[in-house]
Structure 1
Amino acid sequence: MSYTALSQHFEQLHHLQHLGAICGWDQATMMPAGGNEARAEALSTLAVLCHQQLQDPRLSDWFDAAGQESLDREHSVSLAEMRRQWRDATLLPADLVRAMSLAGSRCEHAWRSLRPANDWAGYLPLFEEVLNLSRQAASARAEALGLSRYDSLLEQYEPGMRSARLDTLFDDLKSWLPGLITRVQDKQRDEPLLLPQGPFATEQQRALGLEVMALLGFDFEHGRLDVSAHPFCGGVSEDVRLTTRYNEQDVAQALMGIIHETGHARYEQGLPGRWRRLPAGQARSMGVHESQSLFFEMQLARHPAFIARLAPLLERHFGAQPAFSPDNLARFYTRVTPGLIRVDADEVTYPAHIMLRYEIERDLIEGKMEARDLPERWDQLMQRYLGLSTKGNYKDGCLQDIHWTDGSFGYFPSYTLGAIYAAQQAAAMQQQQGPLEQLIGTQLPTVFEWLQQHIWQHGSLLETDHLIRQACGQPLDAAVFRQHLQQRYLADAVYA
């Protein structure tokens, strides 16, 4: 059967991608600096091999024949997902794929030292090469798909999503988010708050993080935790690699980073086992992926019932102090303060960071601005949305993220889509299972069982809108996110 031949072919591709994921993890965590050029060459060769696997001339005939076979619904969806990946791969020539991989590896590796040095001038030529190649890829994809250049890249991360829909979504956020930020800050201004007093030794932070990962159900037989310049979740479902970064003066940064990445990891570990080596068994979209990390970090970890469980763990690892009382920790983890760094942003200001990046990357890809204009545009939007300046401060401004270093344009909107999806999932879970306070306090596994049943087990067998509508009873709806923020941050208590 042609479907069987396709399945075997895509399983081979999965094995190659598995090797690439682990090599990429090693590049970010363990590899000595001197190995980067050789690793970049190796990864670019592997990228070309994966690309060639998807351009095998036999695939066209196999797809035509498989389309005539009698397949059940799940296998039909699997066939459609394989066809989508095949279609995407045929849009780019192998030499462009290789050039993009090389440029991305070099730019990302240099970024690790250029960012701490605040060296925009050193970064610019590397980034210009990545942007140039990304524009070429976007043009090729756009022409073949009948989309704008930016939408053709967005399609890689959020299939079916378009910038016109994002513009409407972000225009809505802009209409109420600034006022909400102001009102929350006014409310919190006179609330007592004690800051945890460090230092917090890295090894103790790591031990705390591992204990919290276990509480959250992470499977250590199929994953591990390490350190990188930028936190991420990588690897494959059978071998998930999490990373974080530690600051011995700040116990919150690494811990919330670990919880965020654990959300990604639980999704990967919960994907349907019998489909994992095929496109149908992989994550539906990056918006859905981010909904899981943000459900863990925002909906779950900042809830008072979870903080009540977290407080004694902090005391056990770092000793008792007044700042570790549950009430104070709840205020600490829900403090709204506009800041420069996206990954450290609170739940209310976070969407502003994403709107800024969305507008910039869209205009970069569409040719409405150039790489050299990035610092000035960044500062303008940061002042507009958060009232902060990054003039001359590149490391805390336009150099802070890893995404654009390897050409991941179109990814950033997934964070705000994920925050909205997470709020919808929490609302639906409470309607079906009862208050989160009760679930987190005494029935925490029930939370993960709901996510497994409604999100994880479906992989890519459902399109995003179908998945969210089925799980939450409605499609993407920012009104639910707004209601969540108003209830959590503007109620008389810290939480409703």
Structure 2
Amino acid sequence: MSFAKLDELGKRLEAIEHAQAMLSVDEAVQMPSGGGEKRAEAMAMLAGMYHELATAPQIADWIGAATDEALDEMQQAALREFQRVYTNMTCLSADFVRKQVGARVRSEQLWRELRPAGDWSGFLPAFEGVVATARKEAQLRSVALQLDPYDAMIEQYDPGNRTADIAPVFAELKAFLKDFVPHAIARQREKLAARPLKPLNAPFPIEKQKALGLAIMEALGFDFEHGRLDISHHPFCGGVPTDVRMTTRYVTSDFLTALMGILHETGHGLYEQGLPKRWSHWPLGKARGMAIHESQSLFVEKQIARSPEFWEWAMPHVREHLGEDAIAGWELEDVLAHVHWIERGLIRVDADEATYPLHVILRFEIEKDLIEDKLAPKDVPEVWDAKMNEYLGLSTIDNPKDGPMQDVHWPSGAFGYFPSYTLGAMIAAQQWAALQQAQPNVREDMRSGRFVGLNDWRREHIWSQASRWSTPELLERATGEKLNAKHFAEHLRQRYLA
């Protein structure tokens, strides 16, 4: 049977994915520097093997023949996802991919070299090259997927999401935030006048911070029989669902930085561990795109771990693991002042939850125009500065390093990725609203350190569904409505203005 052949193919691809994931984690966590060259060769070889297996011409025949077979409901869903993935993997020719990789490598290398000095003019020729190949990629995918070019790029990260749906929601959110942020900052000043920000009682030994992080991960439901926490230069969640590898980084001057990083990655890890094991070798069994994945990490970091109820429960654990002096003399309001801090800034990755979406919307608007050939690469700094002035009252006109050169996404050719970040935050807030309706005592549960109900709801509505539905369908089935900006706006009002 043809579906049986696809099933066997899935098992072989899953085995390679497992090896690739573990080699990648090891490289980031503990590989000695001298192992880099051979590691790169091994990973390139595995990538080639994977692509050859996944794009073999006979797969199209298997998919076609399987449509006439007697398949159950889940096999039919799996077949649709096999088809979607195969179409996306085969719509670019090998010759185009080689040229594209060359343009991306040159662009990213120059970006790493020139970004510290903010040398936009030196970077521009390479950037123009990577934008040209991205536009070509968008056109090729557009034809194969029968989508608008920019939608075809978004499809690579969030299947089913379309600009026609995202743009009006982002426009509504942008209008809200431009008014909200000044009011929230003014409210913050009033609170600080009455209760000044208390400094952290550093130093915080790394081993004690790690013990605190592990204890909270366990309470949140992370399964240490199928995962672990390590240290890396940049926090990430990798590995595979049966062996999730999370990392963080520690600084002895601030325990909140590492803890919040751990909590964010724990959200990713819980999602991976909650995916259905019986479908793990099918594309159907994978996580449903970047926006949903980000929604799970932000659900833990923002909805849970920055709430007053969480910190009522967590403060005794901080004292237990970091020592009584860690937050000596602190009350709940002192911790919340740190975790709810709002500040306008130039750098996306340093932004708080209230200003962060404006950074993303700015990039969404610019990259959409770049892909649609409505904006020339050379004009990006000027447009970036105008939008940054309008949205956050800041200028980058003489500072491209902290403007359009700050992220690796565009230099590496990742166009269509940025919307996922803010979509994830909005989806997390919408899920929380639906969860509160289903579990009215959820905040009291958090205050008591009970997170089982939270996880059960997400397991039923998100994790167990994997890639059975498109991103918009999954959200609507989980929450009962389409993406709605009001839930994120209400979350911010309650947290920062109430």
Q: Same fold (TM over 0.5)?
A: yes
Matching of residue 138 in structure 1 with residue 138 in structure 2: yes
Matching of residue 468 in structure 1 with residue 478 in structure 2: no
Q: Using the alignment, how far apart are the partners of 1:165 and 1:441 within structure 2?
A: 37
**Quick check: 2:81–2:284 contact (8 Å CA) kept in 1?**
yes
The Cα of 1:35 is off from its aligned counterpart by 5.8
Q: Deviations over 1:237-270 (max 9, x none)?
A: 1222223334443433222122111111110110
The one-letter amino acid paired with 1:317 is L
The one-letter amino acid paired with 1:292 is Q
Matched residue, 1:431:
437
Matched residue, 2:456:
449
Q: Using the alignment, how far apart are the partners of 1:239 and 1:97 within structure 2?
A: 31
Q: Could you tell which deviates more after superposition, 164-173 or 309-318?
A: 309-318
- 3-state SS of the aligned residue for 1:209? helix
The Cα of 1:272 is off from its aligned counterpart by 0.4
Matching of residue 219 in structure 1 with residue 237 in structure 2: no
Matched residue, 2:333:
327
Matched residue, 1:317:
322
Matching of residue 386 in structure 1 with residue 392 in structure 2: yes
The one-letter amino acid paired with 1:6 is L
Change (3 A) 1:133 1:479: same
Change (3 A) 1:219 1:356: same
Matching of residue 252 in structure 1 with residue 256 in structure 2: yes
Q: Deviations over 1:82-124 (max 9, x none)?
A: 1110111110112433554566567667766765676667765
- 3-state SS of the aligned residue for 2:230? strand
Matched residue, 2:211:
207
Matched residue, 1:237:
241
The Cα of 1:164 is off from its aligned counterpart by 2.3
Matched residue, 1:69:
69
**Quick check: 2:229–2:245 contact (8 Å CA) kept in 1?**
yes
Where in structure 2 are the equivalents of 1:47-196 lying within 5 Å?
Answer: 47-100=47-100, 127=127, 129-191=129-191, 192=195, 193-196=197-200
The one-letter amino acid paired with 1:221 is E
The Cα of 1:205 is off from its aligned counterpart by 3.3
Q: Deviations over 1:10-48 (max 9, x none)?
A: 221222233333333344444556665665555444333
The Cα of 1:419 is off from its aligned counterpart by 1.3
The one-letter amino acid paired with 1:422 is A
Matched residue, 1:486:
493
**Quick check: 2:161–2:471 contact (8 Å CA) kept in 1?**
no
The Cα of 1:468 is off from its aligned counterpart by 1.9
**Quick check: 1:469–1:475 contact (8 Å CA) kept in 2?**
yes
Q: Deviations over 1:202-253 (max 9, x none)?
A: 4443333333222222222322333444432222212222233344434332
Q: Deviations over 1:407-455 (max 9, x none)?
A: 2221111122111211111111111112332121232221111111111
Which of 353, 365, 368 is equivalent to 2:374? 368
Matching of residue 14 in structure 1 with residue 21 in structure 2: no
Change (3 A) 1:356 1:226: farther
- 3-state SS of the aligned residue for 1:390? coil
Change (3 A) 1:323 1:297: farther
Q: Where in structure 1 are there 5+ consecutive unaligned residues?
A: 492-496
Q: Using the alignment, how far apart are the partners of 1:247 and 1:22 within structure 2?
A: 26
Which of 281, 299, 304 is equivalent to 2:303? 299
Which of 341, 344, 350 is equivalent to 2:347? 341
Change (3 A) 1:344 1:212: farther
- 3-state SS of the aligned residue for 2:238? strand
Change (3 A) 1:160 1:117: same
Question: Relative contact order: is structure 1 or structure 2 higher (C-alpha 8 Å, sep ≥ 6)?
Answer: 2
Change (3 A) 1:117 1:217: farther
Count the aligned residue pairs: 491
**Quick check: 1:279–1:460 contact (8 Å CA) kept in 2?**
yes
Change (3 A) 1:212 1:129: farther
Q: Using the alignment, how far apart are the partners of 2:73 and 2:25 within structure 1?
A: 35
Change (3 A) 1:437 1:116: farther
Q: Could you tell which deviates more after superposition, 99-108 or 266-275?
A: 99-108
Change (3 A) 1:31 1:73: same
Percent identity of paired positions between Structure 1 and Structure 2:
47
Change (3 A) 1:388 1:204: farther
Change (3 A) 1:329 1:161: same
Matched residue, 1:494:
none
Q: Using the alignment, how far apart are the partners of 2:358 and 2:371 within structure 1?
A: 20
Q: Could you tell which deviates more after superposition, 180-189 or 371-380?
A: 371-380
Q: Deviations over 1:335-378 (max 9, x none)?
A: 22222332332221121111012122223333334545444443
Q: Using the alignment, how far apart are the partners of 1:398 and 1:205 within structure 2?
A: 35
The Cα of 1:126 is off from its aligned counterpart by 5.7
Change (3 A) 1:256 1:103: farther
TM-score normalised per structure 2: 0.89
Matched residue, 2:422:
416
Q: Using the alignment, how far apart are the partners of 2:115 and 2:444 within structure 1?
A: 44
Q: Could you tell which deviates more after superposition, 435-444 or 104-113?
A: 104-113
Change (3 A) 1:19 1:214: same
The one-letter amino acid paired with 1:418 is G
Q: Could you tell which deviates more after superposition, 59-68 or 240-249?
A: 240-249
Q: Using the alignment, how far apart are the partners of 2:457 and 2:114 within structure 1?
A: 43
Q: Using the alignment, how far apart are the partners of 2:114 and 2:345 within structure 1?
A: 21
Q: Could you tell which deviates more after superposition, 290-299 or 107-116?
A: 107-116
Matched residue, 2:288:
284
Matching of residue 440 in structure 1 with residue 442 in structure 2: no
RMSD (CA atoms): 2.8
The one-letter amino acid paired with 2:476 is R
**Quick check: 2:275–2:464 contact (8 Å CA) kept in 1?**
yes
Q: Deviations over 1:292-326 (max 9, x none)?
A: 01100110001111112222333331533357432
Q: Could you tell which deviates more after superposition, 219-228 or 150-159?
A: 219-228
